[in-house]
Structure formats: structure tokens, C-alpha cells
Structure 1
């Protein structure tokens, strides 16, 4: 009879403990997310047969510690129930050359960043909706975790043709 009492406590306690701990872990450290679409090709989902899963690190963005070239996840400014993943091209104060935005250049305001997909022309990004508020950032993609053939850290880089106009940065060619 005593064993049933202990088993009952475990069967009730484990799900409750998991329900309490899981949100803390996910909100504090991060989680694995599926990347859909072609907007970040060739970095993510390099072909139509591959779907990448990335680790979204929440810890690294909790103090808005983002840099040019980072790949971030954020809540869509146009559709709050959707999350997007893009590369940071500009930070507050940067002057960026836009692609199809309402002006040909834009200065990123304080508390915002400019994000773009790597696959220009196939991306819903700052060129569509403008600068993104830092408060909408949910995580930084730090590595591809699936499929195994694509395991790798995502090294931040900024293509030279997308560097802010007011900076002389060492950038990738």
C-alpha cells in the first residue's frame, strides 16, 4: 500500500514539476526552433530538401546584447503571432542603404535594429516593415542542431555590400 502512495505522489509531482521548470528553462536559456522558408538561404535551409533546426539562445539577448551580423529571432511587427529569423544589418545610429523601403537610406533609431534576410527579394524584413524594436527580439540563433549533416555554429558575419553607410567595418567579402 505504501508503494502505491509513493507512486501516486511521483505521478502527480513529476508533471507539475516539469510544468513549472520547463517555462523557466525555455525563457531563460533557449530552445530549438524549426526554420521555415527561403529568406535566409544559403545560410539556413540551403536547398528545398533541407529544413534546419537552430538553437535560439535567449540568455544572450536578455540585455539586448546583439551585434551586426548576428542572426536573431523576433516577434513580427506586422503579425504578432509569428516569429521571424533574420540577420542584424544595422544598430541604433547606423545609416543603412535600404532595398525597396520607403526611403533609399534610413537611420536606425535608438532602441531598434535593422534586420534583413540573406536571400534578398525573398524576405519579409526591415525593408518591408522598417526598424525592429529591440524589445521584440526573442533569441539569437547560435547553431544549427538538425539535420546532423549541417551541425555547425552560426558565425556572425555581415556581407560587405550590406554594411551600414556610416561605418568602416571589417566585413566578410
Structure 2
């Protein structure tokens, strides 16, 4: 094998791999690091040891978001900021709030209510109100790192968390 042949082979591989990889992360999903304490104890239960989760964009595209799901969303206040939160209510639901301007909210059409699992340490719907579903970017489906925490974040057929 010559150097010229190897360079051509690498270039051909990159020409195929880059568009395929980009399309996959744009349409299907990717792995993301989760920082912060707002989702403790479900995510990041140990200080300084972040979880890495699979973010499934396909589920959002197919409207497969349910109460109890952990989702990724764009901040309603800062489009450069991303959050990981749990869906507490969907359109039409009546939700009791914790510190929001009213004690009870009916979720409007095309919106959801999200909260962190660690109530005292979460910037969520109790701060900014119902979230437009268009800001939801993905559904967290698995913890993949660290290995000791590998597990599904999906509900089983009985509606219980795996």
C-alpha cells in the first residue's frame, strides 16, 4: 500500500462518515453530558461525577413525550442555554406549582410543564412557566456513563421506571 492510496482511502471514508454522522446527530440522537444538581437523584447523584445520557431526537419528532419523561429543552429565556428536566404536565393538565406566580396552572395547548427532580435547586417551569413544545429537543432514554449507572430512563409496560 502506498501513502497516496492510504490518503485516498481516508478521504473517501471521511467524505462518507461526516455527512452520515451529522445527519444522525441532527435527526436521530446523540450522547450528552448532564451537569448540575437539578435532576438529582435521578441524574448526577454523586457530586462531581456527571452522567452521560442518550438524547433521542426521534421521539420528540414523533410526539412520543409523556408525563414523567426526562427531556432536553432550549431555555425559554436564553436560546443558548439547554436544560434537562422531567415532564410533569402536558397540554390541558392542571398542575400545582411551587413558587410560580399562581399556585395552579392549566397547561395551554402546545405546551408542557417541566420540573427538576431536586426541587430546591432547579430552574424550571416554576420560574418561567409552561414551555412551548417547540423548545423540546430530545428525550433522555438511557444513562450510558458511568458504567455503574447504565440503565434505561424509560417506563416499562406496567408504567414503572426501569
- TM-score normalised over the length of structure 1: 0.84
Aligned to 1:95: 94
Cα distance in 1 for partners of 2:105, 2:25 equals 35
Residue equivalent to 2:134: 135
- Normalising by structure 2, what TM-score? 0.90
Q: Quick one: distance in 2 between partners of 1:128 and 1:13?
A: 50
* Cα distance in 2 between the residues matched to 1:60 and 1:145: 18
1:2-81 to structure 2, matched below 5 A, reads 3-81=2-80
CA, structure 1 residues 98+171, in 2 after alignment: closer, same or farther (shift >3 Å)?
farther
List gaps (5 residues or longer) in structure 2: none
Q: RMSD between aligned alpha carbons?
A: 2.1
The residue aligned with 1:160 is: none
SS in 2 for 1:43: coil
TM-fit CA distance, 1:58: 1.1
Q: Give SS of 1:31's match.
A: strand
Shift of 1:51: 1.1
Show the counterpart of 2:125: 126
Alignment partners' CA distance in 1, 2:47 and 2:73: 24
Distance 1:171 1:4 in 2: 56
What's the offset of the Cα at 1:19?
1.9
Please list every run of 5 or more consecutive structure 1 residues that lacks an aligned counterpart in the other structure.
Answer: 158-169
Aligned length: 159
1:10 CA displacement: 1.9
- Mapped to 1, the partners of 2:62 and 2:136 lie a distance apart of 10
2:88 aligned with 1:85, yes or no? no
Closer, same or farther: CA 5–171 of 1 in aligned 2, 3 Å: closer
